[in-house]
Amino acid sequence: MANTFGRLFRVTTWGESHGGGVGVVVDGCPPRLDLTEEDIQPDLDRRRPAQSKIVSSRKESDRVQILSGTFEGKTLGTPISMWVRNEDARPEAYSEMATKFRPSHADYTYQAKFGIRNWQGGGRTSARETIGRVAAGAIAKKILRERNGVEVLAYVQQVQRIVASVDSETVKLKDVEANIVRCPDPVAADKMIRLIERARKAGDTVGGIVVGVARGAPTGWGEPVFDRLEADLAKAMLSLPASKGFDIGSGFDGILLTGTQHNDPFRSKGGKVYTPTNRSGGIQGGISNGQTIYFRVAFKPVATVMIEQETVDVNFKNTILKARGRHDPCVLPRAVPMVEAMTALVLVDHALRHRAQCE
Amino acid sequence: MANTFGRLFRVTTWGESHGGGVGVVVDGCPPRLDLTEEDIQPDLDRRRPAQSKIVSSRKESDRVQILSGTFEGKTLGTPISMWVRNEDARPEAYSEMATKFRPSHADYTYQAKFGIRNWQGGGRTSARETIGRVAAGAIAKKILRERNGVEVLAYVQQVQRIVASVDSETVKLKDVEANIVRCPDPVAADKMIRLIERARKAGDTVGGIVVGVARGAPTGWGEPVFDRLEADLAKAMLSLPASKGFDIGSGFDGILLTGTQHNDPFRSKGGKVYTPTNRSGGIQGGISNGQTIYFRVAFKPVATVMIEQETVDVNFKNTILKARGRHDPCVLPRAVPMVEAMTALVLVDHALRHRAQCE
Amino acid sequence: MANTFGRLFRVTTWGESHGGGVGVVVDGCPPRLDLTEEDIQPDLDRRRPAQSKIVSSRKESDRVQILSGTFEGKTLGTPISMWVRNEDARPEAYSEMATKFRPSHADYTYQAKFGIRNWQGGGRTSARETIGRVAAGAIAKKILRERNGVEVLAYVQQVQRIVASVDSETVKLKDVEANIVRCPDPVAADKMIRLIERARKAGDTVGGIVVGVARGAPTGWGEPVFDRLEADLAKAMLSLPASKGFDIGSGFDGILLTGTQHNDPFRSKGGKVYTPTNRSGGIQGGISNGQTIYFRVAFKPVATVMIEQETVDVNFKNTILKARGRHDPCVLPRAVPMVEAMTALVLVDHALRHRAQCE
Amino acid sequence: MANTFGRLFRVTTWGESHGGGVGVVVDGCPPRLDLTEEDIQPDLDRRRPAQSKIVSSRKESDRVQILSGTFEGKTLGTPISMWVRNEDARPEAYSEMATKFRPSHADYTYQAKFGIRNWQGGGRTSARETIGRVAAGAIAKKILRERNGVEVLAYVQQVQRIVASVDSETVKLKDVEANIVRCPDPVAADKMIRLIERARKAGDTVGGIVVGVARGAPTGWGEPVFDRLEADLAKAMLSLPASKGFDIGSGFDGILLTGTQHNDPFRSKGGKVYTPTNRSGGIQGGISNGQTIYFRVAFKPVATVMIEQETVDVNFKNTILKARGRHDPCVLPRAVPMVEAMTALVLVDHALRHRAQCE
If we measure between CA atoms, which residue out of D195, D122, D208 comes closest to residue D158? D208
Contact criterion met (CB below 8 Å) for B250 and B230: no
For chain D, the residues whose C-beta falls within 8 A of a C-beta of chain A are 7-8, 28-31, 77, 352-353, 355-359
Q: Which residues of C touch D310 (CB under 8 A)?
A: 265-267
Alpha-carbon distance D345 to nearest alpha carbon in chain B (angstroms): 17
Q: Do D353 and A355 touch (CB under 8 A)?
A: no
Q: Are D132 and D15 within 8 A, CB to CB? A: yes
Residue from C111, C113, C309 whose CB has the most chain D CBs within 10 Å, to mutate: C113
Closest by Cβ to A68, choosing from C2, C16, C114: C16
Distance CA B224, CA C293 (A): 35
Q: How far is C139 from chain A (nearest CA, A)?
A: 17
How far apart are the C-alpha atoms of B232 and B347, rounded to whole Å?
A: 9
SS3 C305: coil
Are C4 and A23 an interchain contact pair (Cβ–Cβ within 8 Å)? Answer: no
**What pLDDT score does A19 carry?**
87
Angle at B55 between CA B50 and CA B57, to 5 degrees: 40
| C259·D161 Cβ contact <8 A | no
Identify each DSSP E strand in C195-308 by its residue range.
208-215, 243-248, 267-269, 272-274, 283-284, 287-288, 293-299
- Indicate which of C36, C68, C110 best probes the interface with A, i.e. most A CBs within 10 Å of its own CB: C68
Residue in chain B closest to C225 (alpha carbons) equals: B78
Residue D95 has a pLDDT of 79
High-pLDDT (> 70) share of chain C, %: 95
pLDDT band at B90 (very low <50, low <70, confident <90, very high): low
- Confidence band of C49 (pLDDT split at 50, 70, 90): confident
Distances (CA, A) of A166 to A188, A211, A212, C252, D239: 10, 10, 12, 70, 56
Q: Which residue of A has its CA nearest to D355?
A: A356
pLDDT in tens, D100-128: 999 999 999 999 999 999 988 889 999 99
Nearest alpha carbon to residue B265 among B288, B284, B247: B284
Chain D residues with beta carbon closer than 8 angstroms to that of B34: none
Going by the DSSP 8-state scheme, the letter that residue D148 receives in this structure is: I
pLDDT at residue number A326? 78
pLDDT, averaged across chain B: 94
Across the interface, of D65, D76, D115, the residue whose CB is closest to B32 is D115
In a mutagenesis test of the D interface, which of B13, B116, B133 is the best target, namely the one with the most D β-carbons within 10 Å? Answer: B116
Question: A93 vs chain C: nearest CA distance in angstroms?
Answer: 17
Closest CA to B262 of A112, A252, A204: A204
In tens, the pLDDT along C210-219 reads 999 999 999 9
A356:D358 CB<8 A: no
CB pairs under 8 A between C and D: 376
A351 contacts A221 by C-beta, under 8 angstroms: yes
| pLDDT for D86 | 92
Which residues have a Cβ under 8 Å from the Cβ of D99 and sit 6 or more positions away?
D313, D314
Chain C residues close to D226, C-beta within 8 Å: 2-5, 235, 239
| C-beta atoms of B71 and D13 within 8 A | no
What confidence score (pLDDT) does residue B280 get? Answer: 98
The Cα D305–Cα D328 span in angstroms is: 8
Percent of chain B with pLDDT over 70: 95
Superfamily of domain A4-358: Chorismate synthase AroC (3.60.150.10)
User: Phi/psi class of residue A170: alpha, beta or left (left: φ > 0; alpha: ψ in -120 to 50)?
Assistant: alpha
Using an 8 Å Cβ cutoff, are A17 and C76 in contact?
no
Of C158, C262, C316, the CB nearest to D271: C316
Q: What is the pTM of this model?
A: 0.97
Q: Which of C26, D54, A225, D188 is nearest to B17 (CA)?
A: A225
Dist. CA A151–CA A141, nearest whole Å: 7
Q: Which of A192, A187, A184 is nearest to A211 (CA)?
A: A184
**Contact call for B301 and A209, based on CB within 8 A:** no
Average pLDDT over residues D31-52: 90
Question: Where residue D55 falls among pLDDT bands split at 50, 70, 90?
Answer: low
Specify the DSSP class assigned to residue A67. Answer: -
Residue percentage of chain D with pLDDT more than 90:
87
- Give the span between the Cα atoms of A10 and A75, in whole angstroms: 15
Residue A59 has pLDDT above 70, yes or no: no
- Answer for the pair A331, A242: CB distance below 8 angstroms, yes or no: yes
Beta strands in C35-193 (DSSP E): 64-66, 70-71, 74-75, 80-84, 151-159, 162-163
Size of interface A-D (CB pairs under 8 A): 37
- Residues near A38 by beta carbon (within 8 Å), at least 6 away in sequence: none
Judged on CB neighbours under 10 Å (0-12, 13-18, 19+), D61 is middle
Residues 6+ apart with CB under 8 A from B269: none
Chain C residues inside the 8 Å CB shell of A82: none
Average pLDDT for chain C: 94
Q: Can you tell me the ipTM of this complex?
A: 0.97
CB contact under 8 A, B355 and C358: no
For chain D, the average pLDDT equals: 94
- Note the pLDDT tens digit of each residue in D66-91: 999 999 999 999 999 999 999 866 65
Q: Residue C219 phi/psi, 5° resolution?
A: -70, 135
Q: Which of D129, D234, D249 sits opposite C234 (nearest CB)?
A: D234
Are B30 and C358 within 8 A, CB to CB? yes
Query: Nearest residue of A to residue D29 by CA position?
Result: A357
**Chains in contact with C, counting 3 or more C-beta pairs less than 8 Å apart as contact:** A, B, D
The residues, any chain, with a CB within 8 Å of residue C340's CB and separated by 6 or more, are C43, C137, C141, C152, C153, C154, C212
Q: Is the dihedral angle over the CA atoms D137, D140, D145, D151 positive or is it negative?
A: negative
Q: How far is C285 from chain D (nearest CA, A)?
A: 4
Residues of A in contact with B358 (CB under 8 A): 113-115
Least Cα separation, residue B81 to chain D (angstroms): 7
Residues near A187 by beta carbon (within 8 Å), at least 6 away in sequence = none
CA distances from C10 to C29, C286, D40 (A): 8, 21, 36
Interface test with A, best of B9, B99, B113, B358 (most A CBs within 10 A): B113
**Predicted local distance difference test score (pLDDT) of residue C299:** 98
Produce one character per residue of C313-323: b if its CB has 16 or more CB atoms within 10 Å, e if not.
Answer: beebeebebeb
The DSSP 8-state label assigned to residue D127 in this structure reads G
Q: What is the DSSP string of A259-323?
A: HHHH----EEETTEEE-SS-TTTTEETTEEBSSPEEEEEEEPPPS--SS-EEEEBTTS-EEEE--
**Band (D247; pLDDT cuts 50, 70, 90):** very high
Judge whether residue D44 has pLDDT over 80: yes
Q: How far is C271 from chain B (nearest CA, A)?
A: 23
B323: pLDDT confidence band, cut at 50, 70 and 90?
confident
Residues 6+ apart with CB under 8 A from A309: A103, A320, A321, A322, B260, B263, B265
| pLDDT for residue C228 | 98
> Cis ω on the peptide bond leading into residue D163 (within 30° of 0)?
no
Q: Any idea what the Cα angle at residue C168 is, between residues C167 and C174, rounded to 5°?
A: 90
Which pLDDT tens digit goes with each residue over A323-332?
Answer: 777 789 999 9
Residues C307-324 pLDDT 10s? 999 999 999 999 999 877
With vertex at residue B161, the alpha carbon angle to CA B155 and CA B167, rounded to the nearest 5 degrees, is 35
Bridge partners, residue C297, by sequence? C210, C246
CB A339 within 8 A of CB A212: yes
Residue of chain D whose Cα is closest to the Cα of B21: D67
Q: Which of C229, C212, C216 is nearest to C353 (CA)?
A: C229
The residues facing D106 across adjacent strands are none
Alpha-carbon distance A134 to nearest alpha carbon in chain C (angstroms): 18
User: What would the pLDDT profile of D156-213 be if each residue is shown by its tens digit?
Assistant: 999 999 999 999 999 999 999 999 999 999 999 999 999 999 999 999 999 999 999 9
pLDDT of C240 over the 90 cut: yes
Q: What is the DSSP letter of C332?
A: H
Contact residues on chain D for B121, CB-CB shorter than 8 A: none
Mean pLDDT of chain A: 94
* Distances from the Cα of B68 to the Cα of B36, B75, D124, D132, D186, angstroms: 11, 9, 9, 13, 41
Tens of pLDDT along B122-159? 899 999 999 999 999 999 999 999 999 999 999 999 99
Q: What does DSSP assign to residue A147?
A: I
pLDDT-derived band at D253, boundaries 50, 70, 90: very high
Contact A8 D356 (CB under 8 A): yes
* Touching chains, D (3+ CB pairs < 8 A): A, B, C
H-state helical runs in A144-294: 173-176, 186-201, 229-238, 259-262
pLDDT in tens, A302-347: 999 999 999 999 999 999 998 777 789 999 999 999 999 999 999 9
Distance CA C217, CA C349 (A): 13
CB D22 within 8 A of CB B74: no
> Would the CA dihedral through B245, B251, B256, B259 be positive or negative?
negative
CA distance C153 to C67: 27
The closest of B29, B74, D102, D239 to C222, measured between CA atoms, is D239
Residues in chain B with CB shorter than 8 Å from the CB of D126 are none
Query: Hey, of B7, B32, B357, B358, which one would you mutate to test binding to chain C, going by the most C CBs within 10 A of its CB?
Result: B357
The edge-to-edge listing of strands for the beta sheet with C10-15 is C4-5, C10-15, C22-27, C80-84, C64-66
Residues in chain D closer than 8 A to C230 (CB atoms): 238, 244
Write down the pLDDT at residue D57: 58
H, E, C per residue of B83-98: EECCCCCCHHHHHHHH
Sign, Cα dihedral of C104, C106, C111, C113:
positive
CA of D188: how far to CAs of D160, D170, D337, in Å?
A: 12, 18, 20
pLDDT band for position B61 (cuts 50, 70, 90): confident
CA-angle at D219, arms to D214 and D222, nearest 5°: 75
Distance CA C263, CA D301 (A): 9
Neighbours of C161 (CB within 10 A): 11
| Identity of the residue in D23, D67, D115 whose CB atom sits nearest the CB atom of B15 | D67
Contact call for B356 and C31, based on CB within 8 A: no
**Could you tell me how far CA A68 lies from the centroid of its own chain?**
25
Q: Which of A25, A80, A128 is best to mutate for the C interface (most C CBs within 10 A)?
A: A25
How many whole angstroms separate alpha carbon D46 and alpha carbon D179? 12
